[in-house]
Amino acid sequence: MKFTLKYIFSLCFLLCSLLVTSQKTEVKDTTAIKKDSIKPKTERYGLRLGIDLFKVARTFYDKNYKGLELVGDFKFTRKHYLATEIGNENKTVADDQLNFTTKGTYFKVGFDYNSYENWLGMHNMVYVGMRYGVSSFSQTLNSYSIYYANNYFPKPIVTSGEKFDGLSAQWIEVIAGVKAEIFTNLYIGFSIRMNNLISNKAPENFDNLYIPGFNRTYGGNFGAGFNYSISYFVPLYKTVLKTKVKAKK
């Protein structure tokens, strides 16, 4: 499982790099010579706000899941974006031995580095990034069955309802993703994430098998996730680009 995810993750990295090489365009600055007739080039900076479509969709089709994630990024250099996700999840997991519900809120903050050379004024992205994530949540053990390797007696399924409050976790995410403008200022994006727990406050006599924002845990610190976002770019200000001609003088 862990290796499958790692494989998929690296596959996506590879796909992204293909995108870079195939769509790389060079901004031609030959026009800059005729200074007088052409407006100075400007770069727009602003805030891109959106939601994770997958979580919204899943809320409708999966009766064991309710979730919402708001995403935002802010371009602060030509290549770097300050990025954040904030979300809330309510997920019930019905495994063979355990049935539990995790409820909680999470917050992620970090940066994205855009490796895609955009045409002027566009904000398409093929990016890698990192996030620091923190989640505060509770677990409710709905029911459990007693594991008995011996089959002589029927195994009871015990209805519990025991609630574990005040749980938390922190982790680091490494991200690879794309964002593309589909209509003016409207973007869709997809990212996949590899997570690594750095702290995990688990309940006594139970475990954090699901952490909002981090997703399923696998016994160790490893985790994985993805999001599929739709977002709107709100331009805030413009800066005049220094052309290469000017730079030479």
Partner 1 sequence: MKKIFLLFLVTFALSSCEKDDICDASTSTTPRLVIEFYDNLIATPTLKNLTNMKAVANGMSDGIVFNNSLAITNPLRFVTNSSKIYLPLDPSTNISTYALTNNFGSSTANEDVVTFNYTKNKVYVSRACGYKYLFNLTNTNTNILLADTNNWIKNILLVKPNLETENEVHIKIYF
> What is the DSSP secondary structure assignment for residue 185, as one 8-state letter?
T
> What is the DSSP secondary structure assignment for residue 31, as one 8-state letter?
G
Distance, CA of 128 to CA of 9 (rounded, Å)? 12
Nearest to 176 by CA among 6, 2, 3, 1: 6
Nearest to 83 by CA among 132, 20, 10: 132
How far from each other are the two terminal CA atoms of the chain, in whole angstroms?
58
Distance, CA of 249 to CA of 245 (rounded, Å)? 7
Segment interacting with partner 1, rule: CB under 8 A, options 41-49, 82-90, 185-193, 237-245: 185-193
Query: Which one of residues 6, 10, 17, 18 is an interface residue with partner 1 (CB under 8 A)?
Result: 18
Distance, CA of 246 to CA of 249 (rounded, Å)? 5
Query: Which one of residues 5, 49, 56, 186 is an interface residue with partner 1 (CB under 8 A)?
Result: 5
Residue 131 vs 179, nearer CB to partner 1 = 179
Residue 161 vs 235, nearer CB to partner 1 = 161
> What is the DSSP secondary structure assignment for residue 226, as one 8-state letter?
E
> What is the DSSP secondary structure assignment for residue 30, as one 8-state letter?
G
Residue that has been written with the tokens 């954040």 in this structure: 84
Query: Which one of residues 6, 10, 11, 240 is an interface residue with partner 1 (CB under 8 A)?
Result: 11
Distance, CA of 136 to CA of 41 (rounded, Å)? 45
In the complex, minimum distance from the CB of residue 247 to partner 1, in angstroms, rounded to a whole number = 34
In the complex, minimum distance from the CB of residue 76 to partner 1, in angstroms, rounded to a whole number = 25
In the complex, minimum distance from the CB of residue 75 to partner 1, in angstroms, rounded to a whole number = 21
Task: Give the footprint of partner 1 on residues 134-163 (CB under 8 A).
Answer: 144-150, 152-156, 158
Query: Which one of residues 219, 247, 248, 249 is an interface residue with partner 1 (CB under 8 A)?
Result: 219
Distance, CA of 164 to CA of 174 (rounded, Å)? 29
Q: Is 188 in the site for partner 1 (CB under 8 A)?
A: yes
Q: Is 206 in the site for partner 1 (CB under 8 A)?
A: yes
In the complex, minimum distance from the CB of residue 1 to partner 1, in angstroms, rounded to a whole number = 5
Q: Which amino acid is at 26?
A: E
Q: Is 65 in the site for partner 1 (CB under 8 A)?
A: no
Q: How many Cβ atoms sit within 10 Å of the Cβ of residue 213?
A: 29
Q: Is 57 in the site for partner 1 (CB under 8 A)?
A: no
In the complex, minimum distance from the CB of residue 158 to partner 1, in angstroms, rounded to a whole number = 8
User: Given the rule CB under 8 A, which residues bind partner 1?
Assistant: 1, 4-5, 8, 11-12, 15, 18-19, 54, 95-98, 144-150, 152-156, 158, 178, 180, 188, 190, 192, 205-207, 209, 216, 219, 224, 226, 228
